[in-house]
Structure 1
Amino acid sequence: MLSHVWKWVVQEWAEVRRSTRAACIEAGPERDTFVQSLKAAAAAIAAWAVSGWWFQAPMALLAPWTAIAMVGTTVYQSVRTGIQQFAIITLGTLWASAAMAWTHDRVMVSMLLTLPFMMLLGNYRRFGSQGIYGATTALFVITGGVASTSTVGHRLLETLIGAAIGLLINAFVLPPVHLRSVRDHLLRLVGETEDVLGAMAAGLREEDGLKNAEGWHRSAGALTLSLQSVSEARYWAMEGSRWNPGGRLRRTGSMPPPFAEDDRWSRVCTGVLALARTLKGLSDDAELTAPSPDFLRLLSDVLDQASHICAIETELLAQTGTAELRERRDAAYPEARRALGLLTEAFHRQVPQASAVGGELLIEARQLMLELAPSA
């Protein structure tokens, strides 16, 4: 038991060190998280300074509490969150204050009248994830003591101060833009596709290489997770540009690759998964007749050429495209087509029993090369 706990601690510490190092040396998700965390802390401190230190507000806690929640992943999210949060906090404050006034400041009775209703109201979908703040605000109001028109006004004002400070800091201090994330995730996807194709190509050259087919299929299936990450990054990039002054206030870097690249690499991943699934089926089902070793060797050459094209595509994405890299990619594709032509000739030489599996592998290889073509 202790050994497992110690192993977990060591792994977690290694992840913390890796994330800290990445945040310090390069732009990326780790640095974005670091910046947003510091901005949330700064917003809370500034809100407390205004409401608690300057205004001497009786419920100054509401201002920094609201400010932290306002520093969202995007400026648009901050505005939307602010509206939702201010609405639910206002409802919680007014309902709890009315309950306190009606019960003559009896805390337990006020809770019975307030919390069930606010918890139900907090689940209303229009309030999103902010619904819980209605009940917690009501608790602050009820446990805070006597309710009056003056104290209710103070609580609403403190909430408004925190929301305004959080929104201003998120929008004008290194506003999150999220343009780089799409390229980063697409780079990771293309790199992983290259690795899977390379592993399949190397394995097919071995005499008993099909024993690794299950591992290829598992790796190819994992590409769908990376593809989903690209889709999520695209969503954040689109939302990050809404109501965001970041394009004028800070360097945003190069624009993300066009949306057509997402669709293209989705089809490439589908082709890789289909190839891996067919090879796994060939490995699992003893009744299927495998193509000849010559056919598998030529298929290995095709996959190796595909992996090489993916490597060039990775460099193109990383450097946002150069003439030399495009020439290398354009030169690599005819080589891949020649390897595919040799594979087609080898298919025609197969025994009839092997035509089913060989034909499926040939079709998927041709579709894969079609998607990797420069014109795609």
Structure 2
Amino acid sequence: MAELVRRGTTPVVAQALRSTAAATISYVVALQLSSEPVPLTAPLTALLVVQVTLYATLTTGIRRVNSVVAGVLIAIAFSALVGLTWWSLALIILASLAAGHLVRVDEFVPEVAISAMLVLGVTQVSDTAWDRVVETLIGAVVGLLFNFLLAPPVYVRTAGESIEDLARRLRTLLLHISDELTEHIPVARAAARLHEARRLDQDISQVDASLRQAEDSLRLNPRVREGLLHRIVLRTGLDTLEICTVVLRVLARTLTDLAKHRTDEPLFPPDVAAGLQALFGHLSQAVQSFAALVTTQVSANAEEAEARLAAELAKAKADRDDVAELLLFRVQQHPRQWQLHGALLAEVDRILDELDMDHRSRRLMEELDRHAQERRERFPRWAKARDRLRKSWSRLRRG
């Protein structure tokens, strides 16, 4: 039962239910307003207009209406001039595709040609054309009103689960690398860890898609306050984990290169290996705490995750300094592959820097400032009016 409830909140199920309801309602309305006996254009349009998020519904609905109207107008013009022949069909497809790019309907460019061909292929072109326009408008309006009156769900939790899953896989890979440092590692096993890191790097695109859906669900959604802040927190959090993933891939490559030179001995002496194990253990915990900090929705939980992250980073930095001293001592005695030891420390430093709380705070402020500046540049009059209202309010409070 719990699994059924969980599936009922997934984007796929929510999309299916919302699209079905909107298409059915638009068909019932079109039966009353259209002269067509079976006005299937209305439910078809509603089915395509209603998206998972309100923001996507608005942008998609406008582009779809534009594409259908453009196709209908082209069909009316061609039917009045030449009618339907093989060469006129070729011309109407070419003209429709060109018109689709001119009116900027993006992914709905083929819809312009489809609408034109459907209208051109019937006998009563003018009547059918306007009926098709009416049905399209009905489907689009029903789809838009459907999402206005029944606000779509917010998919922050889905994006958060994807980010947490990425962090768990990062943590697991770090622990696997840590467990192998005290023993002899064949080149094939080290290369397998490198391939695992590469797969992890490639899978980030799936997490990014989930996050983009969450970002769209936060835009223009009446359920959400401070939607911009939520989007920036999630986006910057994923950016940080993505950088850590790339650095971990480079770190795995460094260990693979080292394994090629240490074919009959462990990668590191016992004391260095023990220090690296402690370091990677604290790094793995820090990654998990960082993901919890980014995805938590409760302030108390956020403070707890921040405290855990600060503690793990402090321990990791102390371990890093100890390992650096041990490596320096060992390199002075046996300077084999010293450059790989330095690269390993540099990669650890990069991960620590990305997870650092001060670095994250600066990044959040920079992103907020950038969005504010973009909004000012896009809507200068609104920004000036808002500034005047704030100044007036300040003077009233002081007075």
Alignment TM class, shorter chain as reference: 0.7 to 0.9
**Which residue does 2:95 correspond to in 1?**
117
Change (3 A) 1:172 1:326: same
Q: Which moved more, 1:264-273 or 1:224-233?
A: 224-233
Residue identity opposite 2:89 in structure 1:
M
Change (3 A) 1:217 1:353: same
Q: Out of 217, 223, 226, which is 1:240 matched to?
A: 217
Kindly state the Cα deviation for residue 258 of structure 1 after the two structures are TM-superposed: 5.3
Q: Is the 8 A contact 2:14 2:52 kept in 1?
A: no
Task: Write the distance in 2 (CA, Å) between the matches of 1:284 and 1:27.
Answer: 51
Kindly state the Cα deviation for residue 102 of structure 1 after the two structures are TM-superposed: 3.3
Gapped regions of structure 1 (runs ≥ 5): 1-19
Which secondary structure state, in structure 2, belongs to the residue aligned with residue 144 of structure 1?
A: coil
Kindly state the Cα deviation for residue 288 of structure 1 after the two structures are TM-superposed: 12
Map 1:214-293 onto structure 2 (within 5 A): 214-247=191-224, 255=230, 257=233, 259-284=235-260, 291-293=268-270
Map 1:314-353 onto structure 2 (within 5 A): 314-317=291-294, 319-320=296-297, 321-350=301-330, 351-353=334-336
Task: Write the distance in 1 (CA, Å) between the matches of 2:296 and 2:219.
Answer: 27
Task: Write the distance in 1 (CA, Å) between the matches of 2:103 and 2:189.
Answer: 48
Q: Out of 178, 189, 214, which is 1:201 matched to?
A: 178
1:48 aligns with 2:31: no
Task: Write the distance in 2 (CA, Å) between the matches of 1:23 and 1:180.
Answer: 17
**Which residue does 1:366 correspond to in 2?**
349
**Which residue does 2:40 correspond to in 1?**
61
Residue identity opposite 2:287 in structure 1:
C
Task: Write the distance in 2 (CA, Å) between the matches of 1:106 and 1:372.
Answer: 65
Change (3 A) 1:92 1:59: farther
Which secondary structure state, in structure 2, belongs to the residue aligned with residue 126 of structure 1?
A: coil
Task: Write the distance in 2 (CA, Å) between the matches of 1:247 and 1:308.
Answer: 31
Task: Write the distance in 2 (CA, Å) between the matches of 1:106 and 1:370.
Answer: 67
Change (3 A) 1:87 1:366: closer
Task: Write the distance in 2 (CA, Å) between the matches of 1:240 and 1:298.
Answer: 45
Q: Which moved more, 1:271-280 or 1:339-348?
A: 339-348
Q: Is the 8 A contact 1:201 1:300 kept in 2?
A: yes
Q: Is the 8 A contact 2:186 2:259 kept in 1?
A: no
**Which residue does 2:379 correspond to in 1?**
none
**Which residue does 1:187 correspond to in 2?**
164
Residue identity opposite 2:352 in structure 1:
M
Q: Which moved more, 1:289-298 or 1:150-159?
A: 289-298
Q: Which moved more, 1:283-292 or 1:346-355?
A: 283-292
Please, what TM-score do these two structures have when normalized by structure 2? Answer: 0.75
Kindly state the Cα deviation for residue 295 of structure 1 after the two structures are TM-superposed: 2.3
Task: Write the distance in 2 (CA, Å) between the matches of 1:344 and 1:372.
Answer: 20
Q: Which moved more, 1:290-299 or 1:80-89?
A: 290-299
Change (3 A) 1:39 1:255: same
Aligned residues: 349
Q: Out of 73, 78, 103, which is 1:94 matched to?
A: 73
Kindly state the Cα deviation for residue 161 of structure 1 after the two structures are TM-superposed: 0.8
Q: Out of 289, 294, 300, which is 1:312 matched to?
A: 289
Gapped regions of structure 2 (runs ≥ 5): 360-399
Kindly state the Cα deviation for residue 368 of structure 1 after the two structures are TM-superposed: 2.5
Task: Write the distance in 2 (CA, Å) between the matches of 1:302 and 1:214.
Answer: 22
Q: Is the 8 A contact 1:58 1:154 kept in 2?
A: no
Kindly state the Cα deviation for residue 156 of structure 1 after the two structures are TM-superposed: 1.3
Please, what TM-score do these two structures have when normalized by structure 1? Answer: 0.79
Map 1:69-88 onto structure 2 (within 5 A): 69-88=48-67
Q: Is the 8 A contact 2:184 2:264 kept in 1?
A: no
Change (3 A) 1:58 1:97: farther
**Which residue does 2:391 correspond to in 1?**
none
Residue identity opposite 1:143 in structure 2:
G
Kindly state the Cα deviation for residue 153 of structure 1 after the two structures are TM-superposed: 2.4
RMSD, matched Cα: 3.3
1:137 aligns with 2:120: no
Kindly state the Cα deviation for residue 39 of structure 1 after the two structures are TM-superposed: 1.2
Which secondary structure state, in structure 1, belongs to the residue aligned with residue 336 of structure 2?
A: helix
1:296 aligns with 2:276: no
Task: Write the distance in 2 (CA, Å) between the matches of 1:325 and 1:118.
Answer: 55
1:127 aligns with 2:105: yes
1:24 aligns with 2:5: yes
Residue identity opposite 1:81 in structure 2:
T
Per-residue CA deviations over 1:116-164 (Å, capped at 9, x if unaligned) read: 322443455812111111222122212332223x443222111111111
Residue identity opposite 1:372 in structure 2:
L
Change (3 A) 1:370 1:92: closer
Change (3 A) 1:205 1:22: farther
Kindly state the Cα deviation for residue 108 of structure 1 after the two structures are TM-superposed: 5.3
